[in-house]
Chains A and B, each alone.
Chain A
C-alpha cells in the first residue's frame, strides 16, 4: 500500500512543479467522480415528537455530462452540467428520550442536479471553481431498524440542491482532474413507520469528490 502511495506521489509531484500553459477547453464534456460523504445527524419527526438518526460515513459515485462555456462569453468563465450522484449511508444510531439505540438499514439518495460552476481561469493548469446546483433527489429508506426491531421504510422524490467548490487540474487540453467539495441537502423526505405513521427527516450531507472530466 505504501509503495502504491509513493508511486502516486511521484507521479503527481511533476504536476505540481511543472505548470506550462494549457488551452482552455470549451464545449461538451463528460466526467466521473468518486468520493466520500458524511450524512449529518438528522432530526426526525413524527406525530409523537422528535428523535434523531446518526449515519455511518460512506462512499459516493457520480457521473456528469456538461458544457464548458466559451471564453469571453457574456456570462463569464464556467460550466453547466447535469450530474447524477448516488449516496448510500447505513443507519448507525437512533436517539429517543430513553437514550441512543443501535440502528440498522440504509438511506440512499439518488440525485439528478443541474449544476452551475463559475471557474477562475488563468494561464496555469490550476483552476478553482465554485457553484451551485438544484434538481430532484429520490431518497429511499430501506429496512430501518432500532435495536434490531423494524422501524420504517419508504422512498420519496424531493427537491434537492447543492453548493460546491473545488479545483481543476488540467492534465491536457481536454482532460481535467477535479478535486472538490459538495454540500448536498434536500427538503425533508417523508417515510412510513412500521406502525403506519409518517415521519420526516433532515438530509444534510458533506461530500469530498475526486474525478476526471474529458472534453470533446
Chain B
C-alpha cells in the first residue's frame, strides 16, 4: 500500500512539473488602448484608385498591436474618399480630387489621417512578373503598377480589371479578395491583361506540362529480415496538377547503405544483406522520395547445406532432389536461407540447380557421370560443395504411398510416388509425376509445396488416384492406384496452436490449425488453412506455398495471425509478440 501511494505521489508531482509553459493565445485587452496610429502608403492617391490603411494601437504606452481589424473607419468627405469595399473595410477609394480626413475609431479612442486625392491620370500600366512560366496546376500572383501623369507610380493591383485571353490555359481572378491570382489550367500560352480605364497592360503567361513535386515510395519504412528480399518498391509521383501517376519504372532507384541492402537502379525488390538501416531512394528530375528500410534478424555468422557436403548424392538420370541451406545469425536465430544462396553446378550439362520459388531449389541430374560438384556460395563465407553422382539405371516400377486415404471433405493429405530402379535404389519422383483423380467431384490433386502432391477430399464417396512418370522416354504407371474415401462432416470448431506465441526476430514458430467435427473427430488442417498476418513489419509467413502456418519474427511488436478454413467461420486469430531485432 505504501509503495502504491509513493508511486502515485511521485508520478503526480512529476506530472505537475513547474506548471504551464505553453504559448498564450489571448491578447491583453485589460490594459486600455490610449492612442491609435494610422499608417498609409501612399498618403496621396489618384482619383479612382484605392489603398489600404492599417491601424496600430498603443496600449497605455506599454505595448503596441495591429488593430486594423478592430477599428471602425470613416471619412469626413465621402465624395472625395470613401471606404466602399465591403470585403476589405480598411481600403479607401479616391472618388474625386480633394482632401479627406479619415478616422479610425475604437471605443472612445480615435485617430485621423489626411488623405489627398489627386487629379493625376494613369498613363501606363506594368504587370509583374513579366512573361512568367508556371507549371500546370500551380498559381501565381500578378501585380499591376500604374504610372501617372504627375510622374508618380501606384500599386493598382486591386483597382484594375484582370482578364485572361485563354481561360482554358489560365484563369485570373478579378474577385476583390483575390485580385491578380492566376491559376494554370493546361499547357499553352495566355495573355494576362490588366485594364484601368482606357489603359491596359499585358503579359504573356506560359503554362508548361505539370512538374513533379514529390515522390512517395512504398512500402513505407518496412522492416525485413537479413538475407531476404523486400516486396517490390513502387514510386508514386505527385505532380503540380494534382495527378499521382505510378512512376516506378521512370525513377532511378538507389540504396543509401549498400552494405545493408541493395536495389537495382531499375527498381524492384531490395535485397537485404546485414542488420541495419538503409534509405531506399527514388529519384526523378532532381526530386526524390525515400523509404527507410530496417533490416533485422542479425548478421549471418555461418551456414550449412543439405544434402551435406560429406555425402555423395546419387541420383538417377532425369530425377531431382531438394537442396537447402540453413543460416545461423548473430542474434542467435537460425532460419532457412536456401533462396539467398548462390547455387552453381560445375558441369551444367550433367547437373543443374534451379530455383522454384520461395526456399525451393531443385538439384536435377541431367546426364550420367561419376561425380560432379555443386557449390553453395554466400559472400564472404567459404563456399560449401556437394558431390553428385548421376547414374542411369533401369526403372522397374513406380508405386504410391500411402495406398489408401481416408479424407474429410475439405481437407487434404500428401501422396508420394516412389520409383524403384534396377540397381536397387529408389527415389521420390512425386514432383516429376503426373497424378490424376478418377473423379474430381470426389477428390482433386494439386501441388502441395516443396514438390509434393496433395489430395483434397471434395465430396462423400470413393475414387482412385493414378500416377504416370516418364523416364528416359518411357512412361510408367502405378500398378495399384490410391483408393481415396471421402467423408463429409460438419465443422464445429477450428483451433490454432499455440494460441499466444513469442518469438525472436529471425526465428520461426510453426502454428497448426485443427478442425473439430460434429462426430467428435479432429483433423490437422494446417495445410488447408488460409493464413494471414496483419503486420508484416512484425512477423511474416515464411512460405505460404511450401510451409503453411510457419511464421517468422521480423521486428519488435505485436502482430495478429489469422486462420480461416473452408470458407467458413470461425475465423481465428492469435497474437505473436516479436522481440529483437
Known: A132-B5, A132-B8, A147-B62. Is A185-B26 also a contact (CB below 8 A)? no
Q: How long is the Cα–Cα vector from A52 to B23 in the complex, in angstroms?
A: 9
Known: A42-B20, A147-B62, A183-B16. Is A130-B5 also a contact (CB below 8 A)? yes
Most chain B CB atoms below 10 A, which of A76, A147, A150: A147
B568 close to A (CB within 8 Å): no
Asked whether A202 lies within 8 Å of B26 as measured between CB atoms, the reply is: no
| Chain A: interface residue total (CB-CB under 8 A) | 39
What are the interface flags for A160-180 relative to B under an 8 Å C-beta threshold, 1 for contact and 0 otherwise? 000111000000000000000
Residue of B nearest to A202 (CB): B20
A151: min CB distance to chain B, Å? 5
Asked whether B25 lies within 8 Å of A49 as measured between CB atoms, the reply is: yes
| Chain B: interface residue total (CB-CB under 8 A) | 29
Q: How long is the Cα–Cα vector from A95 to B19 in the complex, in angstroms?
A: 13
What are the interface flags for B1-26 relative to A under an 8 Å C-beta threshold, 1 for contact and 0 otherwise? 11001101100110011111110111
Q: Which of B1, B60, B65 sits near A147, CB closer than 8 Å?
A: B60
Q: How long is the Cα–Cα vector from A91 to B24 in the complex, in angstroms?
A: 17
A43 close to B (CB within 8 Å): yes
Asked whether B5 lies within 8 Å of A131 as measured between CB atoms, the reply is: yes
B27 close to A (CB within 8 Å): yes
What are the interface flags for A84-116 relative to B under an 8 Å C-beta threshold, 1 for contact and 0 otherwise? 000000000011111101000000000000000
Residue of A nearest to B12 (CB): A163
Residues of A within 8 A of B9 (CB): 130, 132, 163-165, 183
Stretch at the interface among B28-36, B105-113, B441-449, B451-459: B28-36
A48 close to B (CB within 8 Å): yes
Asked whether A96 lies within 8 Å of B27 as measured between CB atoms, the reply is: yes
Q: Which of B2, B20, B26, B59 sits near A97, CB closer than 8 Å?
A: B26
A22 close to B (CB within 8 Å): no
A69 close to B (CB within 8 Å): no
Known: A41-B20, A149-B32. Is A96-B26 also a contact (CB below 8 A)? yes
A50 close to B (CB within 8 Å): yes
Residues of A within 8 A of B29 (CB): 48, 195
Add 4 more A-B contacts to A43-B19, A183-B9, A206-B16 (CB < 8 A).
Answer: A97-B24, A97-B26, A130-B9, A194-B30
Binding site for B on A (CB under 8 A): 40-43, 46, 48-52, 76, 94-99, 101, 118, 120, 130-132, 146-147, 149-151, 163-165, 183, 185, 193-195, 202, 204, 206
Binding site for A on B (CB under 8 A): 1-2, 5-6, 8-9, 12-13, 16-22, 24-32, 59-60, 62-63, 65
20 A-B residue pairs with Cβ-Cβ distance under 8 Å, sorted by A, are A40-B16, A42-B19, A43-B22, A46-B26, A48-B29, A49-B26, A96-B24, A96-B27, A97-B27, A98-B27, A98-B65, A101-B62, A130-B9, A131-B5, A146-B31, A147-B30, A147-B31, A165-B9, A183-B13, A202-B19
